[in-house]
Amino acid sequence: MTSVQVVMTAHGPAAKAAPPTLKIGQHPTPQAGGPQRISGIDRIIAVASGKGGVGKSTVASNLAVALARRGRKVGLLDADIYGPSQPKMMGVSKRPSSPDGKTIEPLVAHGVTMMSIGLMLKEDEAVVWRGPMLMGALQQLLGQVAWGKLDVLIIDLPPGTGDVQLTLCQRTQLTGAIVVSTPQDVALLDARKALDMFSKLKTPVLGLVENMSTYICPNCGHEAHIFGHGGVAAEAQKLGLPFLGELPLALDVRVAGDAGVPIAATDGPLAEPYTRLAQRLIAGGMG
């Protein structure tokens, strides 16, 4: 060796690692065995409907709040991936944090621990996914959210009988499902399909709820049955399933949901039907 050349370089502090992020909508991971429990959660109740527009999400949010007001530790998962509405109804908009890039920290509103994919998106951003990504997102929302200790987790399902329902029933031990319908025949046709789906998936049906059952005119007090009346109760009796009650069609319920304060969080008379629904579930050991 005849010569040595030394090159000096400047060294600054190491670049900071990017903060951990959580990508929602990955393909699902394999799961051995049948449906599994979620650690720390005593009961899981799915709120379902055969079709959209029957008020399923309104029932889910108000039921969750009503149970929380009865002293239960309650979680609410918005599993309507394509049309998440619980952030609006529960009055939350903050993006959940993920300190380690794996665990999602849920939000709390009206005494309810909640999570929705809508909190991970821009308000008008659409979810355009095929089935595997949909199933992966549901798996993440169930398994990677730090739910903590809950007496009951309410899951707001999308309408119909699709991938989310199938994935949930096959992978998660559900206490059972509540099927929401309005009383008219066209809604009951699809409610029967939802009931048949749960039967095929061996998921217990805890009962049926008739939503938008009665309308009381705020001016004159006249009672009207805009969508009919009693159809869901008759269907429950025919099928030998519990009828969990009637819920009203009322402007204040809609206004409260749009304002992010579910009517069940108030002390007015319109909170009472949801309180009775919660009490029936508690009395039956389901809430």
Give 49-107 pLDDT, tens digit per residue.
999 999 999 999 999 999 999 999 999 999 999 999 999 999 999 999 988 888 999 99
What contacts 213, CB < 8 A, 6 or more positions away?
A: 182, 183, 225, 227, 229, 232, 246, 247, 248, 249
CB atoms within 10 A of CB 285: 8
| Residues paired with 174 in a beta bridge | none
Tokens of 60: 């889910």
pLDDT band at 2 (very low <50, low <70, confident <90, very high): low
pLDDT per position as a tens digit, 126-150: 888 888 888 888 999 999 999 999 9
In whole angstroms, give the CA distance from residue 232 to residue 48: 14
pLDDT, position 10: 46
Any idea which residue has 């992020």 for tokens?
A: 21
For residue 14, pLDDT over 80 is answered with no
pLDDT in tens, 158-202: 999 999 999 999 999 999 999 999 999 999 999 999 999 999 999
Average pLDDT over residues 228-234: 94
- Residue 221: predicted pLDDT: 79
The pLDDT of residue 6 is above 50: no
Q: Which pLDDT value is given to residue 24?
A: 66
Considering the chain, what percentage of its residues have pLDDT values greater than 90? Answer: 74
229: Cβ–Cβ under 8 A, 6 or more apart, which residues? 183, 213, 214
Q: What is the DSSP letter of 226?
A: B
At 15-46, the pLDDT tens digits run 444 443 456 666 667 776 788 999 999 999 99
Task: Please tell me the distance from the alpha carbon of residue 188 to that of residue 254, in angstroms, as a whole number.
Answer: 22
pLDDT value at residue 89: 98
Q: Could you give the 3-state DSSP secondary structure of residue 208?
A: strand
Distance CA 268, CA 150 (A): 27
Residue 246's φ and ψ, nearest 5 degrees, are -105, 140
Domain segments of the chain as ranges: 55-283
**Could you tell me which of 116, 109, 114, 111 has the C-alpha nearest to residue 67?**
111
159 close to 49: Cβ distance less than 8 angstroms = yes
Residue type at 120 in one-letter notation: M
**DSSP 3-state assignment of 120?**
helix
CATH 3.40.50.300 is right for the domain spanning 55-283: yes
The pLDDT score that the predictor gives to residue 121 is 83
What pLDDT, on the 0 to 100 scale, is given for residue 28? 67
What H or E segment, with its residue span, contains residue 216? strand 215-216
